[in-house]
Amino acid sequence: MITLGRHGVLARRGEEVLQAGTFKIDSVDESGSGDAFAAGFVVGLLRNWTLEESVRFASAVGASCTTALGCHAGVFTFQEAATFVAGHQLEMVGS
């Protein structure tokens, strides 16, 4: 996993490689967004989600962190992230 900030993420699991963009949101402060992304990705790993599902969820959690000042004030709960992912597109290219 290589996070690329505003340019998204490059992820690899075995032979699968994905490059994802970012969710379009109004960003206030990017502090902590990488850590929030990592936490969201761990959720996907623990739930045995596909790489695509894990990256999508992690990207939503990371993006949510940027919506408020500080490192955690804007971070989605699990249900908020799941709802956000269901209602928003994330540009993703994979092999």
Mean predicted confidence (pLDDT) in 23-49: 95
Q: What is the pLDDT of residue 95?
A: 63
Q: Say yes or no to pLDDT of 11 above 80.
A: yes
Q: Left (φ > 0), alpha (ψ -120 to 50) or beta: where does 53 sit?
A: alpha
Torsion 41-84-6-71 (CA) sign: negative
Mean predicted confidence (pLDDT) in 5-17: 92
Q: Quote the strand ranges of 1-95, DSSP E.
A: 2-3, 9-13, 16-20, 92-94
